[in-house]
Amino acid sequence: MKAQAKKDFRVHEFIEKRWSPRAYSDKPVSQGKINSLFEAARWAASSRNGQPWRFIYATKENKETYDKIFKVMVEWNQSWAKTAPLLILTIAKTKDEKGRPLGHSMYDLGLALGNLTTQATSEGIFLHHMGGIDPQIARELFDIPENYEAITMIAAGYPGDIANIPADIAAGEYAIQERNPQSEFVFSNKFGE
Ligand SMILES: Cc1cc2nc3c(=O)[nH]c(=O)nc-3n(C[C@H](O)[C@H](O)[C@H](O)COP(=O)(O)O)c2cc1C
């Protein structure tokens, strides 16, 4: 397992332990755990309680849908995500029924995914979020309506053997996580200070 980066301040263990693997074990994620992941997402805050998140998921047991979701990823992500036992396509409602933009839907989806990610860590499940997808392919394969948009893909499961993913990707798999110090993004006087 990956060595953890030293945190500057105390955080919850589910935040401490989280990282984004690219190699997964064959161990399936049970339906009960999948239900809990989406339940955590369900209870996120959202603008006007609009709940603009949508998800399409498949485990490897549901090969037909898994293969369809798989096609939405760019090739580079496909090269490692093939080991993931669970794939989740995330979708946001970007416009209301009158075609007006829902300006906070990305924020809302992000909050739901934060919940989902933390729930996953609490269950020993690790996720890898991906922006490298083709939303148009998702729209065609899954009949996504015009006022919704595929935003990201998530690979999920239990960390596995890095020998099962391409060697150049495996090489960085256990690199220590890095982050900017708080002084770069937390201000108390004006922007930047
Ligand atoms: C919105 C978003 C898009 C991302 N897109 C990709 C991607 O397409 N492919 C990939 O391998 N990782 C992707 N990542 C994973 C990030 O590279 C990763 O979270 C970051 O390097 C920090 O590593 P950590 O999650 O292990 O702390 C994405 C993460 C987020 C949140």
Please name each of the domains of the chain with its CATH number.
Answer: 21-162 (3.40.109.10)
Least confidently predicted of 23-32, 59-68, 146-155, 165-174: 165-174
In the structure, what pLDDT confidence band is assigned to residue 170 with cuts at 50, 70 and 90?
Answer: very high
**Residue 19 beta carbon below 6 angstroms from any ligand 1 atom:** yes
Nearest Cα residue to atom 15 of ligand 1: 129
**Residue 23 beta carbon below 6 angstroms from any ligand 1 atom:** no
In the structure, what pLDDT confidence band is assigned to residue 42 with cuts at 50, 70 and 90?
Answer: very high
Tell me what pLDDT residue 3 has. 86
**Residue 2 beta carbon below 6 angstroms from any ligand 1 atom:** no
**Residue 78 beta carbon below 6 angstroms from any ligand 1 atom:** no
**Residue 165 beta carbon below 6 angstroms from any ligand 1 atom:** no
In the structure, what pLDDT confidence band is assigned to residue 137 with cuts at 50, 70 and 90?
Answer: very high
What is the pLDDT averaged over residues 38-65?
Answer: 98
**Residue 131 beta carbon below 6 angstroms from any ligand 1 atom:** yes
Pocket test for ligand 1, best of 72, 130, 162, 173 (most atoms within 8 A of CB): 130
Closest ligand 1 atom number to CA of residue 19: 26
CA–CA dist 114, 75 (Å, integer): 26
Tell me what pLDDT residue 38 has. 99
In the structure, what pLDDT confidence band is assigned to residue 4 with cuts at 50, 70 and 90?
Answer: confident
Tell me what pLDDT residue 157 has. 98
**Which percentage of the chain shows pLDDT scores above 70?**
100
Mean pLDDT taken over the chain: 97
